[in-house]
Structure 1
Amino acid sequence: MDIGVTVGDSIERLEATSADFDFAEFGLSEGVDPATDVDGNRLEAALEETGTDLCVHLPFKQVVVTPVPEINDAIVAHQTRLLEWAGGVGAEKAVLHGTARNPHETDLRPAFAEQVRAIDEAGEAAGVEVVLENVGHQKRGFPLSVLGDIARDTGTAVCFDVGHAYMEDGDDGVERFLRGYADLISHLHVHDARSRGDTHIPIGAGEIDYSILEDRLAGFDGTVAVEVFTDDVSLLTDTAGRVADALGEPF
């Protein structure tokens, strides 16, 4: 199991926070052309200096599917271009939010599955594993069970965001998803949350029962990204240690 840290779209944050981790998860903003807008030389140097591997987060504002086929084709083309860049800079995984213009339109789910399958194939061609993230607590995110079923049907790996699942359906939602889909999970996003709306806070500062991971993900050998919105390395490493303990692994 490798434990990393999310750094948003900031190479400076990568430089400042990643040295204690196995990898950094670098975010791509909507509308950014990474081939020209990301300083590839500085990114490469930062990864080498901190001794970290690379994952990327695809643009989270870009939905995966709409009711319009031509727009869907453009979305796949856009994500393919980003995945080709990611493969070129050595990224191992790419996180994709499971979103739609209106995820409650059940007629849109087959098209969503086709979009996910096409983006996953583009990732495979680029040498990058696409991992589909649950964001069902957001208005454009597919519910947990729908996302899990589509990931299974399309053969796509999952990025399970524990905090997002808690915000959608509490500890019961976390446990239920792990019970049904743990075998699909390749990547975890970990942070704490409170039902009043606080999220992406250090583990232990919120309400999530992380012992659920011990029960359902024992022996997990994928990647874990600490997604706590702070540059305080001691808080980041404390959260990493807590999740490692929950998974029965050292940090």
Structure 2
Amino acid sequence: MDLGLTVGDELERIDAADGRYAFLELSIGDSFLPPTSIDRDRLETALDGRDLYVHLPFDQPVVTHVQELNEAIVDYQTRLLSWAGDVGARKAVLHGTTADRDDVDLRERFAEQLSVVVDAGERAGVEVVVENVGHQHHGVQLSVLGEVAREVDAPVCFDVGHAYMEAGNDGITRFLRSHGDRVTHLHVHDARRRGDTHIPVGAGEIDYEILSEQLSGFDGSVAVEVFTDDAALLWDSGRRVRDRLTPGSTTSDEKGSS
């Protein structure tokens, strides 16, 4: 298991990240950090041997009712994936969204669009993982996302906090029972149903023992997505999750320990 950290769209947060993380997940795109603005030597120096993952932009949905827009979305994501591949990124996170998640007709078109973007990632040497955001207005519901991912053979980035906000601990369990085999990347943080989210693991209401039960021995990647710059809190959140996924593990100062 590789343990990493989301760093938003700031290269300075890569500089400041604890050296024990195996990878850092950087948000790219014109609404975040445009790739054209990134000095590759500066990026490589900041990573200091750690792997790079990227988070693709989510201002636009994956699919709309307008075919010309759909084609433009694919072209844009393909261009970003090509850049990601050129700089050696291993994974790219894509929010699972549509212009209208209640429109049944868009489900098939969402599947088509997702399949094309995943294929573009494969050509670039980057694994595209689709993330659950069903708690948001345009986010595809958990059950639908799992079915579509299986249909088009797409890996999943399972955001535990998002799933809790959408469907509670029971929803986390149901998804992982049905689609845990598709999960290759996790976003971890805690949340409360009153609206608090992206808080340190252990500070909220999520039952992380569910991961012990459903994903024990997980050999994918785990990104801590807690909105704080407190290095100790960030590492503690990752350690707590790692220990649930790898029974018997202990804290280590080695990079990406598991």
TM-score (norm 1): 0.97
> How many residue pairs are counted as aligned between the two chains?
249
**Offset of 1:10 from its aligned partner?**
0.6
- Aligned-partner Cα distance in 1 for 2:14–2:178: 34
Query: Which position in structure 1 is the counterpart of 2:141?
Result: 143
Q: Quick one: distance in 1 between partners of 2:99 and 2:38?
A: 28
SS at match of 1:130: strand
Distance 1:22 1:218 in 2: 20
**Partner residue of 1:20?**
20
Does the 8 A contact of 1:2 with 1:222 survive in 2? yes
Give the CA deviation at 1:61. 1.8
Aligned counterpart, 1:119: 117
Aligned match of 1:88: 86
CA distance in 2, matches of 1:30, 1:191: 26
- 8 Å CA contact 2:61–2:97 kept in 1: the answer is yes
Which residue in 2 is equivalent to 1:75? Answer: 73
Offset of 1:142 from its aligned partner?
Answer: 0.4
Say which structure, 1 or 2, has more relative contact order (CA 8 Å, 6+ apart): 2
Shift of 1:31: 4.3
CA distance in 1, matches of 2:34, 2:215: 35
1: CA distance between counterparts of 2:32 and 2:23? 22
Contact 2:77/2:117 (8 A) holds in 1: yes
Secondary structure of 1:63's counterpart equals coil
Q: Which amino acid aligns with 2:240?
A: R
Give me the whole-angstrom Cα distance separating, in 2, the residues matched to 1:53 and 1:65.
30
Distance change in 2, residues 1:191/1:32 (3 Å): closer
Which residue number corresponds to residue 42 of structure 1?
42
What runs of 5+ residues in structure 1 fail to find an aligned partner?
none
Deviations 1:1-32 (A, max 9, x none): 00000000111001101412000000014446
In the superposition, relative to structure 1, how do residues 127 and 185 fare at CA in structure 2: closer, same or farther (>3 Å)? same
Q: Is the 8 A contact 1:4 1:18 kept in 2?
A: no
Deviation at 1:220, TM superposition (A): 0.5
Whole-angstrom CA distance in 2 between matches of 1:167 and 1:245: 23
Whichever residue aligns with residue 137 of structure 2, its letter is K
Q: Write the mapping of 1:1-251 to structure 2, written as runs, cut at 5 A.
A: 1-31=1-31, 34-48=34-48, 51-248=49-246, 250=249, 251=257
SS of the residue corresponding to residue 25 of structure 2 reads strand
Whole-angstrom distance in 1 between the partners of 2:31 and 2:198? 24
Q: Percent identity?
A: 60
Amino acid at match of 1:139: H
Does the residue aligned with 1:219 lie in a helix, a strand or coil? Answer: coil
Q: Which moved more, 1:202-211 or 1:24-33?
A: 24-33
CA RMSD of aligned residues (A): 1.2
Please give the secondary structure, in 2, of the residue aligned with 1:131: strand
Secondary structure of the structure 2 residue equivalent to 1:186: strand
Aligned to 2:253: none
Q: Which moved more, 1:13-22 or 1:134-143?
A: 13-22
> TM-score scaled by structure 2?
0.94
2:111 and 2:32 mapped to 1: Cα distance?
Answer: 25
Q: Secondary structure at the match of 2:175?
A: helix
Q: Work out whether residues 30 and 62 of structure 1, in 8 Å CA contact, stay in contact via their aligned partners in 2.
A: no
- Cα-to-partner distance string for 1:102-125 (whole Å, 9 max, x where unaligned): 111111011000000000000000
Check the 8 A contact 2:31/2:59 in 1, yes or no.
no
Deviates more, 1:98-107 or 1:208-217: 98-107
